[in-house]
Structures are given as structure tokens and as C-alpha cells.
């Protein structure tokens, strides 16, 4: 019914109580049962051209890490939203549909923040999509990110278990904070390397997600006292501005590794996406300006 309607709008009408199940309000995570009666308010569906794609979305292919009849895994660049909505006309999924008009089914299995680069999974069959989404929901999908943070990270391995609560600020933008009333969230942070420069200490960490909450890595690290470099929502804004002059013009967060069970064959797969050139170059510059290499590479 809502093909072409931004997910943000769907969630908004759920929060406002306009969607009713058996004449009552429901949350977004409610699972429909046989016999449920669902009332959906009228929604404006985007005009779509033949082939089922938005006319405004330019065709674009992205670097393919893996593809077969059921699954497509791409290496998403930073600065591209995964889908349209919330002020964004189109995203990865709309561009892929435009570039592949013959594809009968292309749907996102999960999300990445707009400024996060790296591995993104797209289902090419509904059966595959459902299995992939179940794996994400159950926490059986292995997701690892590289993040560069401000500060001197000490522990080789550290578990962060802080509940996260979503809320809206005055301009309607979504934010997340650590809050006892939030949903459980679990991140495992492993030290990769540290630098000391004229701008202070920096640490490269690998973050393994055991849950997939909105902005989880960004909020967990900031709450721990180690804001993500380039983060325009939760980061150190003065430092970010200074680092832009040194060449870091984006958030340093990259979905680098993915361990998944193929939804059709059951094969356990391990996929990787290397750091983009702009992030690798910034690490090289840190090496040049490093006053003392502590040698914590692991």
C-alpha cells in the first residue's frame, strides 16, 4: 500500500496513532497476527515511472562486493543516504532501482547512516530479505566497523552496554542518548592503534555491533568520552572544524566487515570493504605527524 512512501513518514503516522490495529494504537515493532484488522490513513505515494522507480533518482551503480540471485552487497560511499525521506529526495535503493529497471525486487535489508561508508546488504528476493532481516533482528549478523575517535583509548577490548533512547529535537531531527528508559544496546570496542599529534590523542578502534540501534556506535563512543571524528551530531565540533583543514571532511566511520549466513544456501560468508582512500590518507597523515608511536597495532 505504501510503496514509495518514505520510511520516516510511515514511522511518524505510527507514532501519532494514525495506524490502528483492532482499533488500538500499535508500536512499529508490533507483529501482525492472523485476524488482525489494520486501519491505515490515506498517504501520498510518490509518482513512479514505468519500472517502479522515482523519476527524480538518477541511475547509479555502486561497487559490488558480492552478488547472486538472492543478495546484493555493495560498498556504499559516504555522503549518500540509503533511501529517500527526511529531506532527501532519493538514496542508494532508488538509484539502484533506476539503474536496474529489469530487477523485479530490490529492498534494503538494513541501514547505514548517510555519512557512514561500507558494506550494505540489499535483498533481491522477498524470501531472502525476510531471512536477512530476521538475522539482523536476532543479532546473528556479524557487523564490524572502523572508527577513529578523539582521545587515548586504553583497553584492548571493552564491552559497552548502555541503553539508547531516541527522541526529536526542536527542528524535528532525530537524536539518540544513553538513557535507562531506552532500548538495550551492546557494542564491543577493540583497540587497533593510537596516535599523539599536535591536536591531541587519536585512537582507531574496531566496533562490533551485537545490537543495531540508531546511531549506536556514535552515541556509545561519545558517552564513553571518545567522540567520533567528523561526527556533526555528537562529536567535538571545534575539533572537527580544525580537522577539516587537515583533510578529514567526513565522519570517520566505515562498515568494514560482515559475517552473514546466506539466506538461500545457508553458507557462512565473510565479506570485507577496505577503508576508502580519503580515510586511509588521513591515517597516513597521522603517521607523519605522530609525535610518539605507541605501537598498539593488533
Q: Where are the beta strands (DSSP E) in the chain?
A: 20-21, 24-25, 38-39, 48-49, 53-54, 64-67, 71-76, 107-108, 117-123, 142-150, 157-161, 164-168, 174-178, 186-197, 200-209, 253-261, 268-272
Q: Taking the alpha carbons of 225, 230, 234, 238 in that order, is the dihedral positive or negative?
A: positive
Asked if 287 contacts 195 with a C-beta cutoff of 8 angstroms, the reply is: yes
Active-site annotation holder among 29, 68, 69, 113: 113
113 is catalytic: yes
Neighbouring-strand partners of residue 201: 196
What is d(CA 81, CA 94) in angstroms, rounded to the nearest whole number?
10
The H or E element spanning position 222 is: helix 216-223
Kindly list the catalytic residues: 113
Amino acid at each position: 500500500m505504501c510503496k514509495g512512501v518514505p520510511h520516516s513518514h510511515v514511522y511518524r503516522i505510527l507514532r501519532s496513532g494514525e495506524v490502528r490495529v483492532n482499533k488500538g494504537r500499535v508500536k512499529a515493532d508490533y507483529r501482525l497476527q492472523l485476524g488482525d484488522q489494520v486501519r491505515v490513513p490515506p498517504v501520498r505515494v510518490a509518482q513512479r515511472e514505468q519500472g517502479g522507480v522515482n523519476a527524480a533518482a538518477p541511475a547509479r551503480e555502486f561497487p559490488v562486493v558480492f552478488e547472486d540471485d538472492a543478495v546484493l552487497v555493495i560498498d556504499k560511499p559516504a555522503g549518500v543516504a540509503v533511501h529517500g525521506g527526511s529531506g532527501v529526495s532519493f538514496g542508494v535503493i532508488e538509484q539502484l532501482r533506476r539503474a536496474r529497471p529489469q530487477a523485479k525486487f530490490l529492498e534494503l535489508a538494513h541501514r547505514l547512516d548517510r555519512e557512514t561508508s561500507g558494506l550494505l546488504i540489499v535483498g533481491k528476493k522477498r524470501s531472502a530479505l525476510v531471512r536477512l532481516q530476521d538475522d539482523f533482528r536476532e543479532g546473528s549478523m556479524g557487523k564490524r566497523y572502523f572508527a577513529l575517535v578523539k582521545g587515548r583509548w586504553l583497553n584492548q577490548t571493552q564491552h559497552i552496554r548502555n541503553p539508547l533512547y531516541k527522541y526529536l529535537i526542536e527542528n524535528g531531527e532525530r537524536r539518540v542518548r544513553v538513557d535507562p528508559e531506552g532500548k538495550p544496546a551492546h557494542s564491543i570496542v577493540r583497540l587497533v592503534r593510537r596516535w599523539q599529534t599536535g591536536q591531541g590523542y587519536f585512537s582507531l578502534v574496531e566496533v562490533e555491533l551485537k545490537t543495531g540501534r540508531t546511531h549506536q556506535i556514535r552515541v556509545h563512543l561519545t558517552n564513553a568520552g571518545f567522540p567520533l571524528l567528523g561526527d556533526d551530531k555528537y562529536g567535538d565540533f571545534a575539533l572537527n572544524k580544525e580537522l577539516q583543514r587537515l583533510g578529514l571532511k567526513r565522519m570517520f566511520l566505515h562498515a568494514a566487515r560482515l559475517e552473514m549466513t546466506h539466506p538461500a544456501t545457508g553458507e557462512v560468508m565473510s565479506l570485507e570493504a577496505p577503508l576508502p582512500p580519503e580515510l586511509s590518507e588521513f591515517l597516513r597523515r597521522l603517521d607523519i605527524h605522530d609525535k610518539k608511536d605507541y605501537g598498539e597495532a593488533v
